């Protein structure tokens, strides 16, 4: 820790060494497993884990069917480029069937949690013989969960659920003292490529956090297409996060001279430091119009809205 003129600068290189030493000490000769989502948090945990444990860490990428266009393949390729093998697990049907018929936000999150921990990942852990699970929980996840704002899917221990007896393994969370900016700094120290360090946050429940109402393959396809458009159009803004959301309502519209009852997509783009508070980005009108015209070209979508709401009172995600 370096304190000059009231500025506190954290020694992130020291943090990396400490965490690597701690992982080696705790895991000992056992094996560990971790799930990589491709986001900064789980990417940093993956690299820390591999530096600490080498081949005693098994890293999997669970394709839950809720990912963005081309995401599973891209993540596996990025880590192959870093010399870290990542196993791709196809669990799409398991997640989609767990979500079938659910519309309540917390029930959807719970279904994803259960599908991930109790079934897909639990099975992988049991098969692998690993005793430890490395997880990318950060401080903001813990604070918002404790405050009762939202149940993060990755926060079993902080909720008082004993992961050892509930799921049969011990959860290690090397990033739990950091916020998002700290995690990005650690990613820089670890030499992660900009594709990972500058990647905008993406939630654990993935596109399901951006579908109000039931998650179906058809509705996923709509939000996936809208997400690709928004990410392409807003990549140059430098905004903290940008996303597309599919609402649960339908709206009257008109296409080819006929009345159409169509789907509604919301575009959200925010400025933030750590996602605890946020304000809407002032996007040039022309950009918004271009995004709108591309989004209403997605079959079944006839309305596109831009969300101006700060956090609070809104959250970033819609579910
Ligand atoms: P909210 O919607 O709570 O989001 O304002 C704050 C930040 O956290 C991300 N987010 C999540 N990340 N699991 C995650 O790993 C989750 O369940 C989750 N929910 C929200 C969100 O994208 C934003 O950056």
User: Which of the four pLDDT bands, split at 50, 70 and 90, describes residue 7?
Assistant: low
pLDDT of residue 127: 87
User: In the prediction, which pLDDT does 282 show?
Assistant: 98
The residue assigned the tokens 């870093």 is: 82
Cα–Cα distance for residue pair 39/64, rounded to 1 Å: 15
Q: What is the pLDDT of residues 98-116, one digit of tens each?
A: 999 999 999 999 999 889 8
For 203-223, what is the mean pLDDT? 97
Q: DSSP characters for 69-80?
A: TTHHHHHHHHHH
The string of pLDDT tens digits covering residues 160-182 is: 556 666 666 788 999 999 998 89
Structure tokens at 285: 């009108």
- Site to probe by mutation for ligand 1, drawn from 140, 209, 314 as the one with most ligand atoms within 8 Å of Cβ, is 209
pLDDT value, residue 34: 94
Torsion of CA 167, 103, 315, 228, to 10 degrees: 90
CA 29/CA 163 separation, integer angstroms: 21
Q: Is 315 in the pocket of ligand 1 (CB under 6 A)?
A: yes
Task: State residue 168's pLDDT score.
Answer: 63
What is the spatial distance between Cα 116 and Cα 193, in angstroms, rounded to a whole number? 27
Tokens representing 155? Answer: 């926060």
Least Cα distance to 57 among 90, 30, 19 occurs for 30
Which of the four pLDDT bands, split at 50, 70 and 90, describes residue 208? very high
User: What spacing in Å lies between the alpha carbon of 310 and ligand 1's midpoint?
Assistant: 15
- Under 8 Å CB-to-CB from 114, ≥6 apart: which residues? 98
pLDDT of residue 220: 98
Torsional class of 185: left (φ above 0), alpha (ψ -120 to 50), beta (otherwise): alpha
Alpha carbons 310 and 280: distance in angstroms, whole number: 6
pTM: 0.86
Q: What percent of the chain has pLDDT over 70?
A: 91
What does the pLDDT look like over 75-98, one tens digit per residue?
999 999 999 999 999 999 999 999
- Give per-residue pLDDT as tens, 228-287: 999 999 999 999 999 999 999 999 999 999 999 999 999 999 999 888 899 999 999 999
Distance CA 236, CA 228 (A): 14
Q: Is the CB of 209 inside a 6 Å radius of any atom of ligand 1?
A: yes
The arithmetic mean of pLDDT across residues 42-50, rounded, is 97
Q: What is the pLDDT of residue 2?
A: 47
Q: Which residues contact 267 (CB under 8 A, 6 or more apart)?
A: 226, 230, 242, 243, 244, 245, 288, 291, 292, 295, 304, 305, 306, 307
Residues in the chain: 319
CA of 145 to the centre of ligand 1 (A): 11
Strand partners, 9: 2
* Cβ-contact 31, 129 below 8 angstroms: yes
Could you tell me how far CA 227 lies from the centroid of its own chain? Answer: 14
Distance 206 CA to ligand 1 centre (A): 9
Question: How far apart are alpha carbons 12 and 190 in whole angstroms?
Answer: 10
Best residue for ligand 1 mutational test, from 44, 317, 318, 319 (most atoms within 8 Å of Cβ): 317
The answer to whether 76 and 61 have CB atoms below 8 angstroms apart is: yes
The closest of 166, 165, 162, 170 to 30, measured between CA atoms, is 170
pLDDT at 1: 47
**Tokens at 38, concatenated:** 């491709």
201 or 216: which carries more pLDDT confidence?
216
Residue 299: partners with Cβ closer than 8 Å, 6 or more residues away: none
For the chain, the average pLDDT equals 91
Tokens of 243: 């996303």
Q: Which amino acid residue places its CA nearest to atom 12 of ligand 1?
A: 203
Contact 247, 240 (CB under 8 A): no
Contact, 283 vs 189, CB < 8 A?
no
Residue 163 confidence (pLDDT): 62
Of ligand 1's listed atoms, the one at least distance from the Cα of 37 is 15
User: Cα–Cα distances in Å, from 214 out to 24, 108, 113, 121, 252?
Assistant: 43, 9, 16, 23, 20
pLDDT in tens, 138-168: 998 888 777 876 655 555 555 455 666 666 6
pLDDT at 5 over 70: no
- Is residue 317 in contact with ligand 1, taking CB distance under 6 Å? yes
């Amino acid at each position: 820790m370096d304190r000059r003129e009231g500025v506190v600068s954290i020694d992130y290189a020291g943090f990396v060494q400490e965490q690597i030493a701690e992982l080696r000490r705790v895991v000992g000769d056992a094996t560990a497993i971790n799930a990589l989502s491709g986001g900064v948090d789980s990417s940093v945990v993956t690299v820390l884990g591999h530096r600490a444990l080498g081949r005693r860490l098994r890293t999997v990428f669970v394709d839950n069917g809720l990912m963005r266009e081309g995401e599973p393949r891209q993540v596996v390729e990025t880590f192959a480029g870093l010399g870290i093998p990542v196993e791709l697990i196809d669990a799409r049907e398991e997640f989609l069937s767990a979500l079938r018929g659910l519309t309540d936000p917390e029930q959807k999150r719970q279904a994803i949690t259960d599908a991930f921990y109790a079934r897909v990942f639990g099975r992988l852990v049991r098969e692998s013989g690993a005793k430890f699970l490395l997880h990318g929980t950060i401080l903001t996840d813990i604070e918002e969960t404790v405050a009762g704002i939202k149940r993060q899917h990755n926060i079993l221990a902080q909720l008082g659920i004993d992961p050892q007896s509930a799921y049969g393994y011990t959860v290690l969370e090397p990033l739990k003292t950091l916020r998002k900016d700290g995690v990005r700094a650690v990613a820089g120290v670890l030499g992660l490529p900009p594709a990972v360090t500058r990647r905008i946050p993406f939630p654990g429940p993935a596109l399901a956090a951006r579908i109000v109402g039931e998650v179906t393959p058809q509705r996923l396809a709509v939000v996936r297409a809208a997400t690709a458009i928004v990410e392409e159009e807003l990549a140059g803004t430098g905004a903290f996060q940008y996303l597309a959301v599919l609402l649960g309502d339908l709206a009257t519209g008109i296409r080819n001279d006929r009345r159409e009852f169509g789907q509604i997509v919301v575009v959200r783009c925010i400025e933030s430091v750590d996602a605890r508070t946020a304000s809407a980005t002032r996007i040039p009108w022309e950009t918004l119009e271009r995004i709108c015209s591309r989004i209403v070209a997605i079959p079944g979508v006839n309305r596109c809205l831009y969300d101006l709401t700060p956090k609070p009172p809104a959250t970033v995600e819609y579910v």
